[in-house]
Amino acid sequence: MWMDMPPPHELARQLLEAQATVTPIQPFSERFSGYDVEAAYRIQQALVEQKLAQGHVIIGKKIGFTSEKLRRQFNVDEPDYGVLFEDCVLMEHEPLEIDRLYRPRVEGEIAFVLKSDLDRPGITAADVVRATEGIMPAIEIVDTRFEDWRVTVPDTIADQAGNARIVLGGVMKPLADFDLRYIGLTIFKNGKLMDCATGSTVFGNPVHAVVWLANKMYQLGSPLRKGEVIMSGSFTPVFPIDRGDYVEAIFDRLGKVTVFAR
């Protein structure tokens, strides 16, 4: 049972140390029998508390495994989420420092910026639309603190859903101007088309991913708040990024966002 593991704060410390030293650790799912989602969320909460104690600031949340293609890629059947801190934000023209990451990968997604809290049970798509100040084109750089990306859903939950960096495009547009089911994304690396998709790959609609998260966070007693940035999930399977790579994510009518790795 998970109670036989080291306490959550110790496993959270291991994750933070692995991140700081770029030295991966063995997955918890391989080390502890009975390790499950409940244990993973306890570890994630301990990690959040340690980050807050260090003076970091929560700026939003991210949702993982919202794309069916991505779930197939990692052989998982449910989404997860992580907490975003200010130190994960990368300016669009600020290079991604590869030496600070282990095995980074790229996701193209839409970021929601909230103008009001989502602090009640039974949140619907209409509630999310009303609560959204605007949407932005975004790239997430995901990484792992576990060896060789050998992860289960509980491993990714403990590891902040794999977040390493986010890059937000320089424009925010009203959500009401878009039907996100049909918004298109084309994503390129060094000028080569890596993949293309529409918003329908994200839970049928990226709005539905935010609905899932809002209800999940309310149940956990940490509802989504005004001003938070919500990364709604990748349109496509992830792909690696390495030194010298230049990535462009171009969204139909919403704009584009780029990142360069050095």
Residue by residue, DSSP assigns 132-159 as EEEEEEEEEEE--SBGGG---HHHHHHT
pLDDT band at 151 (very low <50, low <70, confident <90, very high): confident
With both helix axes pointing from N to C terminus, report the angle between 8-21 and 37-53 in degrees, rounded to the nearest 10: 60
Mean pLDDT throughout 59-79? 78
What backbone torsions phi and psi does residue 168 show, to the nearest 5 degrees? -105, 135
**Cα 230 from Cα 212, distance rounded (Å):** 12
**Mean pLDDT score across all residues of the chain:** 93
Query: 233 by DSSP, 3-state: which?
Result: coil
| pLDDT value, residue 3 | 53
| pLDDT value, residue 1 | 47
Query: Where do the domains of the chain lie, and which CATH numbers do they carry?
Result: 57-260 (3.90.850.10)
Please say whether the beta carbons of 205 and 180 come within 8 A: yes
Mean pLDDT throughout 172-177? 96
The two three-digit tokens of residue 60, written as one number: 């939003």
Residue 14 has pLDDT above 90, yes or no: yes
Please say whether the beta carbons of 188 and 21 come within 8 A: no
CB neighbours of residue 262 within 10 Å: 10
Share of the chain above pLDDT 70, in %: 95
Please say whether the beta carbons of 190 and 245 come within 8 A: yes
Per-residue model confidence as pLDDT tens digits over 47-57: 999 999 999 99
pLDDT band at 58 (very low <50, low <70, confident <90, very high): very high
Residue 73 has pLDDT above 70, yes or no: no
Query: At CA 163, angle to CA 99 and CA 213, rounded to 5?
Result: 175
Summarize the chain as % helix, strand, coil (round to 5): 35, 30, 35
DSSP 8-state code for residue 235? S
Residue 74 has pLDDT above 90, yes or no: no
The two three-digit tokens of residue 244, written as one number: 């010298």
Residue 70 has pLDDT above 70, yes or no: no
